[in-house]
Every structure is written in structure tokens, then in C-alpha cells.
Structure 1
């Protein structure tokens, strides 16, 4: 192998910039989780990432912009993973429920820093009406994706297709968030299979409601 072939490929300018942004976001997650939004400074974040503050400001206008992008990327990742999980083609409803429970346990037990970030995100959003609207719109995107998946699965199984799947999706996503938060407080309060069981209860009740004799149109 020649010396030229053995040398690592030099990153393009765009790749370097993307890598720098990713490292800054990862450092910001650590600092915000440890110190909170108010206590974190751009100096702390830049130093943790191994860059100068100039590098930070060349990628983000200010701490607010960095925080918002971090919130968007982390929330989008978790919600998209949840939707993908329910979209998975498991052999049975029980298989989906078991997978949902495993995912909740994985998130709750291994992402304590993310729990602190979620609290900071919520406090940040609740104090800024304009940001709440953006956060709600983001949630609705994933709620609608999940609702579409649920409707399609119901149709393929010959179940009621006029159920309020947007409401069901809202409950499933927020139930996940709430149970994950509670499990981080005390794992014994949220057994490993509780989320899947709760989802089962929800769908049993939904089925009974829409399949009961004499149901009004």
C-alpha cells in the first residue's frame, strides 16, 4: 500500500463544519445537563468540545440558537425512533408491546443526562410562547406519522378505521415520556413490561369502544 493510500482522507470543508457542529452539540448536551441552561456559558461549551468560542460563534449565533438546535435534534431523534418502533413489522401485537417496553427501559435506564436536558427544555419552552408553538408543531409532526401507522395497521387487521388515532398517538407518546421520567425516579414504580401492558389496555379499550353493539355512527 502506498503512503498516499495509507493516509486518511482529508475532510472537505463541509464535512469539517458538520463535525464541528456535532461536537459542539454533544458538548452543549453535557454542559446543559450538568449546569442547567442559566448556568451554562458558551465558554464552558466551547472548552468541553475542545474549540475556541470563535468556533462556536461561527456555527451558532448565540447560546439560545445552540440550545434550540440541541432540543430539536434530541427530541426529533427520540420521537422518530418511537414511531419507527411501532411501524416495525412484528409477528403479533404482543411483539410490538414487548419491543416498546424494552425501548422505554433502555431510554430510561441509560440516558440520565437526557432526563436533565428534557427538564431544561421544558422550562425553556414554557417561558417562551413563540418557542412553545414550534415545539408543539414538531410534536404534531411525529404524532401524525404515528397516527397514520396506527390507522394502517388497524386497516390491515380488519379493525375500526374511524378511531381517533391522532389522540391515541398523543397518549402513546406522552405516556412514554411520563413513564420514562418516573422510572428514572424509581425503577420499581415502572416494571420492565409496564409500557407495553399500558398500550395493550389502551387498545383493548379502544376496540371495545368502537366495536360495541349499537354504537352510534
Structure 2
């Protein structure tokens, strides 16, 4: 077996901690989530948590960034494919369906928003995260418009914010009591509509 480098080992530890944190925050909320439960679920000691994160807020932001960056990066790869735009949109739909397959994601995102509303210090960090995500979504949308061969509208930045908010809202609709297959179709309807009216 090949021995993992220190950096690879750290990345694996952080990924396990992020997965456990997502579940803990979604289930108990920010206030009820416990670092001991996060580390226990991830299979690590409390020391392993503090070797990677300063606080619950730090891991909260890290989970948000990691999951959103992964999704946006995948969509960018689809947009670089040589296939026609309809095929590319179908790939994006499948990717979004997988993204929504994380049952706790919608609850987790709402917990982050609520904590930002209740805590001024965290709100500043959260706003920085939102600015980064909105810019990433704007770049992804720009690539989509370019790929479709249509011009960007004047209110393009607002459109990126709207798309991010729509994804968050749709992620909340997916759960035990709803049909998760509808949300990806709704997102594709939105994307096709804005491209058609460009």
C-alpha cells in the first residue's frame, strides 16, 4: 500500500469531518450541534477537529464552500464539452439531481443562513462566502450563455443571485415527503427559459 502524504491524510480527515458536520447541523441546528458528536461520527478525536478547524463556524463555512465549489466545478466541466447545448443541459440536470440526493443539504444551508441572521460576527464571514458563490455562479452562467450562443442580459449579476437562491429553495423541497425528481426538472426549466429570452 502507498502511504498517504500528510496533505492527503489531512484532506481525508477534513472530508470526513465535513460529512459528519453536515449531518449534525442539519439534524440539530447550529446551537444544538456538538463538536464531540461531529468528531465521533467522523471517527476522530476532539483534537482532530481543532487541528483542522477553530470553531463550529469555521467548519460550517468550509462545508458550504466545499459542496458548492464541487458542484460549480462539475457544471463548468460540462459546459466545456463539445456536445450540443441540450446534451450539456441534461448532464447538468443529472449533476443537480445528485447534488439534491444529499438529503440533509437543504436543512444545512438554512441553518447557515439562520446563524448568519442571529450572529453579526458570523454574518460577515457568511457574506464573504455568498459573494464568492455568487461570483462563481455568475461565471458559470456566463459560460452557459456563451455556450448557447446568446448575449448576457443587462441584469446578469442579479440573475446569478437568483439562480443561487433558486437552488437553495429547491434543495429544501427535496425530502421524505416530496418527489426529488421534480426539482432538477424545475431548475432546467428556469435555465432554458432565461436562455430562450436572452
TM-score class normalised by the smaller sequence: 0.7 to 0.9
Q: Which whole-Å CA distance do the structure 2 matches of 1:17 and 1:189 have between them?
A: 35
Is there any run of 5+ residues in structure 2 with no aligned partner, and where?
A: none
Root-mean-square deviation (CA, aligned residues, Å) is 2.9
Name the residue aligned to 1:190: 182
Q: Which whole-Å CA distance do the structure 1 matches of 2:180 and 2:69 have between them?
A: 28
Name the residue aligned to 2:5: 12
Name the residue aligned to 1:3: none
How far is 1:51 from its partner? 1.8
Q: Is the 8 A contact 2:170 2:183 kept in 1?
A: no
Q: Which whole-Å CA distance do the structure 1 matches of 2:132 and 2:23 have between them?
A: 23
How far is 1:120 from its partner? 1.4
Is there any run of 5+ residues in structure 1 with no aligned partner, and where?
A: 1-7, 207-217
Q: Select which of 84, 108, 115 maps to 1:117.
A: 108
Q: Is the 8 A contact 1:179 1:190 kept in 2?
A: no
Name the residue aligned to 1:211: none
Aligned residue pairs, count:
194
Q: Select which of 179, 200, 211 maps to 2:170.
A: 179
Pairing 1:1-217 to 2, within 5 Å after superposition = 8-91=1-84, 93-108=85-100, 110-127=101-118, 128=120, 129-153=123-147, 157=149, 159-160=150-151, 163-184=154-175, 186-187=178-179, 190=182, 193-206=185-198
Superimposed CA distance per residue, residues 102-134 of structure 1 (whole angstroms, 9 cap, x where no aligned partner): 3333333x2112222112122123333312321
TM-score with structure 1 setting the length: 0.72
Larger gyration radius, structure 1 or structure 2: 1
Q: Which whole-Å CA distance do the structure 1 matches of 2:8 and 2:70 have between them?
A: 21
TM-score with structure 2 setting the length: 0.78
